[in-house]
Every structure is written in structure tokens, then in C-alpha cells.
A and B are shown apart, each in its own frame.
Chain A
Amino acid sequence: MSSLNLAGVSLHYGPEQTGLPVLQNVSLNLARGEFISVIGRSGSGKTSLLNLAGGFVAPSAGRVTVDGKPVTGPGPDRAVVFQDDALYPWRSVRDNVALPLKLRGIDAATRAEKAREWLAAVGLQDHQDKHVWQLSGGQRQRVGLARALASEPEFLLMDEPLGALDAMTRDQMHELLLSLWEESHAGALLITHSVEEAVFLSTSVIVLAPTPGRIVHREEFEFGRRYLEGEDPRALKSEPEFIDARERLLAAIYEKELVDG
């Protein structure tokens, strides 16, 4: 099973001697079929972690590898869904989704067909010819998701993609995300502010604490899998187990603040 691995990774912006690192000695392994969420307060290096995994920045120490091969830059094996949707307003919805295929040299007819399929998969089959700005925030994030999946990545890296959405749209997106994750067999890495989102979606949650960013808690969950096996999402989210897990993670997020003072 292929995997994305961060081993003892530290990250400094600027010269190493000045100040604390953004991330210190962070290790994690994301295998295909896993769903890891990263939570933590602002400044705990969540986005830096994603930038390392995506290959946008190189670690100051430690190694980032995919199947043992060092990551030297971004690549189509690791698709990214950005916080701002990062769509291209000069392209139609369909052409946004087709861009990864175009860059791979796939002919126009095939990529239009594939883009149609992915848009249907995120429920936007009726919006293909629209302009990006004619869509709502949730629809735009779904286009971003379809575009990321169109490159058929091994790993799907998501940087707070649902942060700007309203609660109802978020719930819909959670269910969509789980279905697509299952279908694509990709390994998913989600950066999020929402503890509930992390507990519901992930097979594994990592809590980062700030200054320096480091892992202070890891925990595995089954709620997403149970949803995919047919259980009701609202029932799952109101189980005592779910509520306990949420409180435990919240405690892990804030505990370190009290200790550090």
C-alpha cells in the first residue's frame, strides 16, 4: 500500500537560529485508504504541515517521502483542495475540472467527458457550463474537490476546505467527502478547525500544539466508516462516544495552552 510519510520533520521559516520552528519533529504516515485530520489552534503549523506534504515547502530537518521516494515538489500524486477554492474564473466550471487532464496531455473530448463524470460525482452535473462566480461557496468547493479528484491522486490534501461554509452545507459536504474518499481509495489529509468534523470524518486525528508546532495527541476513530456502512450521521454525532471523543480532543487542544502558560 503506498503511503505519504513525514519522518521527524521540522520547519523553520528563515534562518534556523532565529526563533522557534513552525513545526518540530513531526512524524506521520498517511496510507491510501486512510483519512487523517489535523486540528490545533491558530499558529500550530497546520497549514505548514500541508505545505510540506504537498511539496510547496521543503523541511528544514527530517524527510517527506512518498513510497520511500523523497518529495521534491508538488505533483499530481498529491492533489490539494485549497481554503480559498483556487478556481480559475476565466475557465468554465467544466474546464476548471478538466485542467489537470489537459496538463497531462489528454485529448479534449476525453477530458470533457471525465470532467462531466467528476462534476456529476459532486452533484454539479447541471452547472458545468456556468462561470465559477455564478456558483455559491459550497458549490465552488465541490468544483475544487472534483478538480482535485480528476487528477486521480494517490493522496488528497485539504486545507480547511469547508471553513467558509455554513453549517448545513458543511454537513452535506462531510457526507460527500466520505463517499468520494471511499470511492477513490485515496489517502486523505484534512486540515480543519472543527473538532467535530475531524472526529466524524477521520480514521485518525492528530492534534498539533503551537510554538513550536508539534503533535500532542493522536487518536483513531470509526465514525466515518460506520457512516459509509449505512449508519445515520446525526445518530452517530449524538452518540456518547462521539461526544466524549470531541471533549477529549478539545481538552488536548487547550491543555497545552495552560501548561505553556
Chain B
Amino acid sequence: MVDLPLTETPAPRRRPALSWAPYVGLVTIGGLLLLWTLASAFGWASPVFLPSPGRVWDAFLRVATEGYANATLAEHIAASLWRVFAALIAAMVVGVPAGLLIATSRVGRGILDPLIEFIRPLPPLAYLPLIIIWFGIGEPSKVLVIAIAMLAPIVISTVSGVRAASDSQIQAARTFGASRWQVIREVMVPAALPSILTGIRIALGAGWTTLVAAELVAATRGLGYMIQSAAQFLVTDMVIAGILVISALATISELGLRYIERRYLPWIGKS
């Protein structure tokens, strides 16, 4: 055995992200808040259209403690979170295998690709009535409406993720005697994970967007329902409070996904 001196320097680590970047975001948010406060303080807009930040905060406290529209904020949030994440799981259970089929089989592509392209551009409000006619007004319909909106991003990101596996990575597995299924499991799925995670992020965005539509009919709980109830009585402060809660939840789930990405997919961006 030859003795190899290990003199080569390992690849340098990537430069860390610029540290002032988060402050720019904070300044933007602060600026908007200031503008909002000024606008309501100087009466640039009627309080019905634009209540002051203080009134929105009061509305937030009111729904958090006493509740609004038959439920407390926690119950509204729980109902909505459940719908969005149940839909996400359903969309992944269907979407990831569908994406793998499209990426690895000509027959799968022939059958599934047109279906996905058909579903992709449909606005949720357009298929909502159909879902209600078919599946009733219960909880499954609400989850289904959101899941349909989430399906396409997950399928498409899975398909493009599988392509991230290089020819030689696939060929290498085949020279080790990997079966078709083993190539999918050991090479294509792991190679696709970064892209699938991006798909999940886009899907969650679509999910929150669709939430209000899903809670349009026969809901008694949920943030979308809460916002619509408030809107019917022109309780604008409550509408804005609801919007801000949705936005906060979406931000938290996005941060959670970024954490998962850093923790479990550390190879992203490093080849």
C-alpha cells in the first residue's frame, strides 16, 4: 500500500450569508408599520377601510381571549392548521409517487402529465362547487380543495428533482447491481429531496392561499371563516388581524422548512 500524504486542501466552505440582510427586512416591516400608523393617525383613510394598528391589536387580543365568530383564535388556528397540513400530507402521498412515475416511466408520464397540467392552472373557487357536489360540505371536502391546489407544485418539483441525479450517479448504482427500484430509492429520491422540499414550500404557499376558499362553505371554525365572518359585518380590524395571523403562520412554517433543509439536507448547493 502506498502512503499518500494528505496535503490537498479540502474544498473551502461557502461564504456565510451577509449578516445585515435580516435587518433590511426588519426596516421594511418597521417602515410599513410607521406608514400605517401615520395614515390612520392623520385620517388619510377612514377607520372602516383602514383601522389603526392599535385597533387591530385590540381585535387580535379580543379574538385571542374572548373569541370571535363562535370560536377562540386558538381554535380557529387549530382548525386551519389541521386542514392545511392534512392537505399537505395527502398531496405528498399522491404527488411524490406520481412525480416519480412521470420521471421514470414513459407510460406514467403519458398518463399523469396531462392530468397534472389540467389541474395545475385551475382556480380553487372554480372547482370548489364541484367538490362540494361530489363530496359534501364536510371536512374532507375542505382538505381536498387545499390538497388539489398543493398537488401540482409537489408533482412538478419531484419530476425536476429526479433529473438532478446525474447519469453517472445512476450508472454507478447500476454497476453495483441495483435494481430499477433500488436506483429509485437510493439515487433518484435522495437526489430529488432538495427539489421536493422547494415544492413543499411552494405548495404550502398555495395551501394558505386556498384556505379562505376552502372555508367559504359550511365552516364553523378556521381563520378563513373568521375573516369572512368579519368581512360580512365590516369588522375591518378583525379582517386585518386574521390576515396577519395567517401571514405569521405561513412565515413560521417557512422558517421550519428552512431549518429542516439546513439540518437534514446539508448537501444542497454543494456538489
Using a CB–CB cutoff of 8 Å, the interface residues on chain A facing chain B are 54, 56, 73-76, 78-80, 82-84, 86-91, 99-100, 102-104, 121-123, 126, 131-139, 142, 147-148, 151, 169, 172, 175-176, 179, 183
Contacts and interface: CB of A to CB of B under 8 A. Distances in A.
A58 to B, nearest CB: 14
Contacts of B174: 56, 73-74
Interface string B43-68: 00000000000000000000000000
A25 to B, nearest CB: 26
A217 B139 CA distance: 76
Contact of B173 (A99, A135, A172): A99
B247 interface: no
Contact of B172 (A86, A176, A183): A86
Contacts of B265: 90
A229 to B, nearest CB: 14
Given A136-B9, A136-B11, A103 B169 contact: no
A183 B2 CA distance: 12
A99 B171 contact: no
A86 B270 CA distance: 13
B172 A82 contact: yes
Contacts of A147: 172
A55 B205 CA distance: 45
Interface stretch (B19-27, B98-106, B185-193, B223-231): B185-193
Given A89-B267, A135-B11, 18 more contacts: A74-B175, A79-B176, A80-B175, A82-B171, A82-B172, A86-B169, A88-B190, A90-B191, A91-B190, A99-B186, A121-B1, A131-B266, A131-B267, A133-B11, A135-B10, A136-B9, A139-B10, A147-B172
Contact of A123 (B3, B9, B171, B266): B3
A74 to B, nearest CB: 4
5 contacts: A88-B169, A100-B177, A148-B175, A179-B2, A183-B1
A169 B8 contact: yes
Contact of B6 (A79, A84, A123): A123
Contacts of B271: 89, 133
A76 B169 contact: no
B176 A138 contact: no
Q: Sort chain B's interface into a size bin.
A: 20 to 34
B254 to A, nearest CB: 23
Contact of B267 (A83, A133, A142): A133
A178 B174 CA distance: 26
B251 interface: no
A75 B177 contact: yes
A56 B171 contact: yes
A155 B171 CA distance: 16
Nearest to A180: B1
A76 B190 contact: no
A136 B10 contact: yes
B253 interface: no
B11 A75 contact: no
B70 interface: no
